[in-house]
A and B are shown apart, each in its own frame.
Chain A
Amino acid sequence: MLPLPSFALYAPTTLDDALALLRDHGPDTTLIAGGTDLLPNMKHGLLAPRHLVSLAQIPALRGVWVEGDVLRLGAMTNLETVAAHEVVLTRAAALAEAALSVGGPHHRRMGTLGGNLCLDTRCRYFNQTYFWREALGFCLKKDGTKCHVVEGGQRCVAAASNDTAAALLALEATIELVGPDGARSLPIRDFYTADGIANTTRAPQEIVVAVRVPLRPARASVYEKLRRRAAIDFPMISLAARLDAEEGRVNALEIAVSALAARPRMIRAASQAQGKSLAEVPRAAIAEAAFKECAPLPNIEGDPAWRKKLVRVLADRALRRLGLGPA
């Protein structure tokens, strides 16, 4: 077996204790939720923290609450729960579909929403064993100096591979964090950055506490995932779309696409739907524009040209499912 590096494990029962542990043990400390991303990465020598602070025993982080017109999901809620929750299913369907498409049943039982949001970016040259990466000559993101995806590239473009990110982006979610300086909230658009080495604006000692999803009347959303197998596989393209409609007209349409580079992107062309009747929405044109706006890289498996074409297909399917464009 691949040996797991040794570490000390702490299981605080309150957020304050968790913050104190993060503070006391300094930079060599990492949070662990379900561990389904962290532990394989540790086995691959991608990180070897001496201290792990588990969030599993903190009750305040687990649960799904409806607070007025906001759906609030605790960071430690597992993906199985998220995918099966009635309000998520009916009012934030893209999130339910995205959560259900993560890994297999075991991953969804162990894996949490917070862990999914903070999933490390992925790359075929990075998510490998130490031996393999050494034989390759390592890379920018870890232990090395060059990028094998973009020749001569000085920036890591590993792919955001978390299924729920695109869904939550389309759903205009807000992320709640606490850190040494107290609590803060930020729109999920500001959570992700284009830096493949660390693609979130979360400070190392901050904890994601919850995700808030606004519940709007007449809102529909869908999620589409490209993968080779019907389970286990990370997305090769991840696409979510959200529609707000009133009296048969589009108030707003948003499309988020991920599994491209480090930052999920919003499709500009979605605004073409604004104000149109549902049947008039230029579905093909929007899908075509999405195809043009996205440039998949050879950072994850799958021919990039094919993945690019599939952006168009997935966009078309998502809009069709939302009842947009000609039947």
Chain B
Amino acid sequence: MTGLVGKPGRRGDLVRRVRGEVCFTDDLRLPRMLFAKILRSPHPHARIVGLDATKALALPGVVAVLTGKDLPVRFGIIPWTPDEHSLVVEKARFVGDGVAAIAALDERTAARACELVEVTWEVLPPVLDLDTARDQPAIGLGASGKDNVSKVVDLAFGDVDAALRGSALVVEGDYHFEGTAHAPIETHCALARYDSDGLLTVWSTTQVPHYLHRELSRVLQLSPARIRVIQPPVGGAFGGKSEPFGHEMVVAKLAMVTGRPVKILLTREEEFYVHRGRHPMRMHFAVGAQRDGKLTAVDAKTDIDGGAYSSFGLVTTYYSGQLLTLPSFAPNYRFSSTRYFTTKPPCGPKRGHGSVQPRFAFEITLDKIAVELGLDPIEIRRTNAVPGNSTLNGMRITSNGYLECLARVEAASQWKERRSKLGFGRGLGVASSAYISGTNYPIYPNEMPQSAVQLKVDRSGVVTVFNGASEIGQGTDTLLATIVADELGLDLGCVRVVSADSDLCPVDLGAYSSRGTFMNGNACLMAVREVKHKLVTAVAEKLAVPPADVFVTRGFLAARGLENQAIPVDEAIRLAEARFGTLGATGWYKSPPGLGGSYRGGTIGASPAYSFTAHVAEVKVDVETGFVEVVKVWCAHDCGKAICPSLVEGQIEGSVYMGVAEALLEEHLVDHRGLHAGPNFLDYRIPTSLDVGDVEALIVESIDPEGPLGAKEAGEGPLHSSIPAVANAIFDAVGIRLDRLPFSPARVLAALEAKRSV
């Protein structure tokens, strides 16, 4: 270690980003490039009876038209549920489903041509809520066509009924979350080129270039060897870009059909239609406890509104139960989750995939139990902290900084002195959670590494990291550069990172499930240590000392006792190159075998390491208007080891802001007609810089034995419990329970009035 790890510092591309020098996908222009637009369904559920594009094709400037028939192969991120067509083949399943695509000389012409495509529709009954999905199976959105079910998961651990019967207290409640969108500033964009050598290149705003590569090959029926996928810098993703999309297939096909590069940039409105946002969930929770606060059992029943397609739905359904068993939990647990299809924009993973909603329900229930029993809500979490190295559903724990997280937020917020003592209208609330650091298996079963890097070591003293991972703003490029620079004693500026280009970089599965630091970090460490070994050996030979005496320091390799003969790193690289030949190394990561429970589904939610989080929120409630102000949030997060602490703080702050926005402001609504209630940033409100309070990020380091330098994750965990912390703080402030998100002023005021009238 040469002093870079653990030091505050800014991310590598910060200045270039701020100054507009970073080249995003939409900044790319190729000679002879065409622009595509997609005509979308105006109906939530309808069959195409006729489609006539003659007039569109006749419009001057229009070069090609595609319909569903041109791309008949279905795709989907989960290999068992490929249910999407690039463009509708038979039935449109939501307002905004892609129906036809036009390539034209300019965007305006393409848009105009879309309006000239004549579609005759047979309108079918829509499914716009969970009750209809359950009660009207004949609409047949499910794979069998006989129901609207996407996935059912029923799992039980222990004897829940007996434990609830034997409890001193059982708190039951219904909780509701209506869904939120990712709202990245950069909307989806893709550019494709098919050259005369038969190579298809696709640049896309994706966070899973490898899965895109595979699905392009499948849909276009083109060998993967003829496809190159490049992910330029991404302007925000949050899970909304973590699967292949129809428009990516469409531009690729259009490029092949026209022989010209084709680009598509989705509008803000289309961004809300392709969606994959957080699933609406309706949750019923019953949690039992003994007088001392010890939990006895958790019984959860959850209906999930999946929208039009499967997306990651199989995983979401498992995650809605599997990820709840840490950090404070009961010894008996049963959950039953059903994901339904509805004729709404498809839902998918958003930061904290599948587990943010049940976390909301559970943490409020825990608060209710604490209040009912007259216990301190932090204390009840300590009482129920899951002991040992395994959860009741078989998840292995290798490091656990949970109690320290609780202690840190307790101290920082002056919990003991201030809780329930701030006067009517002001209050404190606590909640806690845990999250995965990557999943133990790739999405498609295989025995190959999940992450890999290749290092190229240049005699100029520059090391290049070729890395398959997706930098989506979270900072993986900076993380890898820090690991390499630190190991070799280089300046950060001497490490270049080339990411997410299938021709240049080894495969990484993508930026999802908070896997980047853990898996790529380990892969990178493995590669750089091989290089370091060669440098050390060459320097030891040069100085005629045993290799064990050689150490790396900032800028130099030196030997103990011979510090005045220290050799600059670039010189050491040249010595090693002379000694071993051209330098380079590969490194990879594969999660250890056998993680998770041995029951069906027991591996979903299994991760090589878990992060832990505790939040305390302080709120002010305006009892006249119903407005809730989140004055401050303290968030302690156990990330294992903060390799780049500024990035960890950034992830904590970003997570808290996103969570608080979901608590107070954001609601992804589709109305009774199946129309999105307002697919734009005036109607769908995300907070401005004036709408967010203070966040104090408290880093806890439990040093995971398998993590790179001890690191776990920080990208998603710190979001989860921010939402129930706000809910619990509102209770502390004004004594109302809000079991439906978001806590809009109208709802808060209504709850206050209801409370006054009893």
CB pair B675 A136 closer than 8 Å: yes
CB pair B691 A230 closer than 8 Å: yes
Q: Give the secondary structure class of A's interface.
A: loop
In the assembled complex, which residues on chain B have CB atoms less than 8 Å from the CB atom of A309? 749
Contact of B685 among A1, A132, A226, A233 (CB under 8 A): A233
> Does B624 count as interface, using CB distance less than 8 angstroms?
yes
Residue of chain B at shortest CB distance from A230: B690
Contact of B625 among A3, A230, A305, A313 (CB under 8 A): A313
Q: How far is the CA of A124 from the CA of B685 in the complex (A)?
A: 14
Q: Which of A1, A134, A230 has the most CB of B within 10 A?
A: A1
Residues A228 and B625 in contact in the complex (CB < 8 Å), given A1-B267, A131-B42: no
CB pair B688 A135 closer than 8 Å: no
In the assembled complex, which residues on chain B have CB atoms less than 8 Å from the CB atom of A231? 688, 690-691
Q: How far is the CA of A1 from the CA of B749 in the complex (A)?
A: 39
> Does B250 count as interface, using CB distance less than 8 angstroms?
no
Contact of A132 among B43, B665, B675, B744 (CB under 8 A): B675
CB pair A230 B688 closer than 8 Å: yes
Q: Mark B721-758, 1 if CB is under 8 A from A, else 0.
A: 00000000000000000000000111001100000000
> Does A223 count as interface, using CB distance less than 8 angstroms?
no
Q: Give the secondary structure class of B's interface.
A: loop
> Does B679 count as interface, using CB distance less than 8 angstroms?
yes
> Does B269 count as interface, using CB distance less than 8 angstroms?
yes
> Does A234 count as interface, using CB distance less than 8 angstroms?
yes
Contact of A234 among B111, B265, B682, B750 (CB under 8 A): B682
Residues A131 and B269 in contact in the complex (CB < 8 Å), given A136-B673, A306-B746, A309-B749: yes
CB pair A233 B682 closer than 8 Å: yes
CB pair A135 B675 closer than 8 Å: yes
> Does A274 count as interface, using CB distance less than 8 angstroms?
no
CB pair B687 A306 closer than 8 Å: no
CB pair B107 A1 closer than 8 Å: yes
> Does B159 count as interface, using CB distance less than 8 angstroms?
no
CB pair B665 A228 closer than 8 Å: yes
Which chain A residues numbered 95 to 150 have a C-beta less than 8 Å away from chain B? Answer: 104, 124, 127-129, 131-132, 134-136
In the assembled complex, which residues on chain A have CB atoms less than 8 Å from the CB atom of B685? 228-229, 233
Q: Mark B18-43, 1 if CB is under 8 A from A, else 0.
A: 00000000000000000000001011
Residue of chain B at shortest CB distance from A300: B683
Residues A306 and B95 in contact in the complex (CB < 8 Å), given A124-B683, A301-B683: no
Residue of chain B at shortest CB distance from A136: B675
CB pair A229 B678 closer than 8 Å: no
Q: Mark B620-635, 1 if CB is under 8 A from A, else 0.
A: 0000111000000000
- Shortest Cβ distance from residue A200 to the other chain B in the assembled complex, whole angstroms: 23
Q: How far is the CA of A132 from the CA of B96 in the complex (A)?
A: 9
Which chain A residues numbered 191 to 236 have a C-beta less than 8 Å away from chain B? Answer: 226, 228-234
- Shortest Cβ distance from residue A15 to the other chain B in the assembled complex, whole angstroms: 33
CB pair A229 B675 closer than 8 Å: no
CB pair B749 A3 closer than 8 Å: no
Contact of B679 among A3, A132, A134, A228 (CB under 8 A): A132
In the assembled complex, which residues on chain A have CB atoms less than 8 Å from the CB atom of B625? 226, 310, 313
In the assembled complex, which residues on chain A have CB atoms less than 8 Å from the CB atom of B553? none
Q: How far is the CA of A33 from the CA of B613 in the complex (A)?
A: 51
Q: How far is the CA of A228 from the CA of B667 in the complex (A)?
A: 13
Which chain A residues numbered 276 to 327 have a C-beta less than 8 Å away from chain B? Answer: 301-303, 305-306, 309-310, 313
Q: How far is the CA of A127 from the CA of B679 in the complex (A)?
A: 11
> Does B676 count as interface, using CB distance less than 8 angstroms?
yes
Residue of chain B at shortest CB distance from A304: B746
Residue of chain A at shortest CB distance from B110: A3
Residue of chain B at shortest CB distance from A302: B746
CB pair B687 A229 closer than 8 Å: yes
Q: Which of A124, A131, A231, A232 has the most CB of B within 10 A?
A: A131
CB pair B682 A306 closer than 8 Å: no
CB pair B108 A3 closer than 8 Å: yes
Q: How far is the CA of A301 from the CA of B625 in the complex (A)?
A: 16
Interface residues on A, range: 20 to 34
Q: How far is the CA of A309 from the CA of B749 in the complex (A)?
A: 10
In the assembled complex, which residues on chain B have CB atoms less than 8 Å from the CB atom of A302? 746
> Does B384 count as interface, using CB distance less than 8 angstroms?
no
Residues A313 and B688 in contact in the complex (CB < 8 Å), given A132-B676, A134-B42, A303-B746: no
Interface residues on B, range: 20 to 34
CB pair A306 B626 closer than 8 Å: yes
CB pair B40 A131 closer than 8 Å: yes
In the assembled complex, which residues on chain B have CB atoms less than 8 Å from the CB atom of A131? 40, 42, 269
Q: How far is the CA of A72 from the CA of B677 in the complex (A)?
A: 41
Which chain B residues numbered 625 to 666 have a C-beta less than 8 Å away from chain A? Answer: 625-626, 665
Residue of chain A at shortest CB distance from B625: A313
CB pair B745 A306 closer than 8 Å: yes
Residues A313 and B624 in contact in the complex (CB < 8 Å), given A230-B688, A231-B690, A232-B682: yes
Which chain B residues numbered 682 to 707 have a C-beta less than 8 Å away from chain A? Answer: 682-683, 685, 687-688, 690-691
CB pair B107 A3 closer than 8 Å: yes
CB pair A229 B749 closer than 8 Å: no
- Shortest Cβ distance from residue A18 to the other chain B in the assembled complex, whole angstroms: 28
In the assembled complex, which residues on chain A have CB atoms less than 8 Å from the CB atom of B678? 124, 128, 301
> Does A8 count as interface, using CB distance less than 8 angstroms?
no
Q: How far is the CA of A122 from the CA of B685 in the complex (A)?
A: 17
Q: How far is the CA of A233 from the CA of B684 in the complex (A)?
A: 11
> Does B217 count as interface, using CB distance less than 8 angstroms?
no
Q: How far is the CA of A309 from the CA of B622 in the complex (A)?
A: 14
> Does B390 count as interface, using CB distance less than 8 angstroms?
no
CB pair B269 A132 closer than 8 Å: yes
Q: How far is the CA of A206 from the CA of B255 in the complex (A)?
A: 50
In the assembled complex, which residues on chain A have CB atoms less than 8 Å from the CB atom of B107? 1, 3
> Does B420 count as interface, using CB distance less than 8 angstroms?
no
CB pair B749 A232 closer than 8 Å: no
Contact of A229 among B40, B680, B690 (CB under 8 A): B690
In the assembled complex, which residues on chain B have CB atoms less than 8 Å from the CB atom of A313? 624-625
Which chain B residues numbered 268 to 326 have a C-beta less than 8 Å away from chain A? Answer: 269
- Shortest Cβ distance from residue A236 to the other chain B in the assembled complex, whole angstroms: 10
Q: How far is the CA of A302 from the CA of B683 in the complex (A)?
A: 10
- Shortest Cβ distance from residue A149 to the other chain B in the assembled complex, whole angstroms: 13
Q: How far is the CA of A302 from the CA of B667 in the complex (A)?
A: 12
In the assembled complex, which residues on chain A have CB atoms less than 8 Å from the CB atom of B95? 135
Q: Mark B145-165, 1 if CB is under 8 A from A, else 0.
A: 000000000000000000000
- Shortest Cβ distance from residue A121 to the other chain B in the assembled complex, whole angstroms: 15
CB pair B265 A1 closer than 8 Å: yes
Q: Which of A226, A303, A305 has the most CB of B within 10 A?
A: A303
Q: How far is the CA of A1 from the CA of B625 in the complex (A)?
A: 37
Q: Which of A6, A127, A228, A305 has the most CB of B within 10 A?
A: A228
Q: How far is the CA of A2 from the CA of B107 in the complex (A)?
A: 9
Residue of chain A at shortest CB distance from B267: A2
Residue of chain B at shortest CB distance from A2: B267
Q: How far is the CA of A321 from the CA of B95 in the complex (A)?
A: 48
Q: How far is the CA of A3 from the CA of B37 in the complex (A)?
A: 11
Residue of chain B at shortest CB distance from A313: B624
Q: Mark B712-724, 1 if CB is under 8 A from A, else 0.
A: 0000000000000
CB pair B688 A229 closer than 8 Å: yes
In the assembled complex, which residues on chain A have CB atoms less than 8 Å from the CB atom of B690? 229-231
- Shortest Cβ distance from residue A3 to the other chain B in the assembled complex, whole angstroms: 4
Q: Which of A127, A128, A305 has the most CB of B within 10 A?
A: A128
CB pair B682 A229 closer than 8 Å: no
Since A6-B108, A136-B675, A233-B682 are in contact, a sample of 19 more A-B pairs with Cβ atoms closer than 8 Å, ordered by chain A residue number, is A124-B683, A128-B678, A128-B679, A132-B269, A132-B675, A134-B42, A135-B43, A135-B95, A136-B673, A226-B625, A228-B745, A229-B687, A230-B691, A231-B688, A233-B685, A301-B678, A306-B626, A306-B749, A306-B750
Q: Could you pull out 8 A-B pairs where Cβ atoms are within 8 angstroms?
A: A1-B265, A1-B267, A2-B269, A129-B267, A135-B43, A228-B744, A231-B688, A234-B682
* A-B residue pairs, 9 tightest by C-beta: A306-B746, A135-B42, A230-B690, A3-B108, A303-B746, A231-B688, A313-B624, A229-B691, A3-B111
- The residues of A with any CB-CB pair to B shorter than 8 Å are 1-3, 6, 104, 124, 127-129, 131-132, 134-136, 226, 228-234, 301-303, 305-306, 309-310, 313
